[in-house]
Amino acid sequence: MTGKTIAFFPEAAFGPALNSVGIAQACERLGHQAVFLTDPGMQGVYSGYGFEEHTVNMSEPMPPAEMAKYWTDFINGHIPNFDLSP
């Protein structure tokens, strides 16, 4: 069997990123090549583990103040969910 090139396109967060690194390492041990497509905010994470990495803008760029407000609103909008009963 000839090794395949496997493209990983994980969510731009450290949990999914590092899980994908572990899976990619296992794929490479099996003779495949892992390549990562990543949000610019995660640039350097995968290349730091020796993988080929390509940045892809997954959303429109925002000015820093707008980005900070987006994440503040996102977090504040989800905090009430942590008070819910199972």
Count CB-CB contacts under 10 A for residue 37. Answer: 15
Q: What pLDDT is attached to residue 1?
A: 62
Residue 22: burial class (beta carbons within 10 Å; 0-12, 13-18, 19+): exposed
Q: What is the per-residue pLDDT across 54-81, written as a single tens digit (0 to 9) for each? A: 999 877 888 889 988 988 999 999 999 9
CB 30 within 8 A of CB 58: no
At 16, the pLDDT band (50, 70, 90 cuts) reads very high
The yes or no reply on domain 5-83 and CATH 1.10.3470 is: no
Q: What is the mean pLDDT of residues 15-35?
A: 97
Q: pLDDT tens digits, residue range 43-55?
A: 999 999 999 999 9
Percent of the chain with pLDDT strictly greater than 90? 70
Sorted by where each begins, the domain ranges of the chain are: 5-83
* Eight-state DSSP code of residue 5: E
pTM as predicted: 0.71
* CA 21 from centre of chain: 10
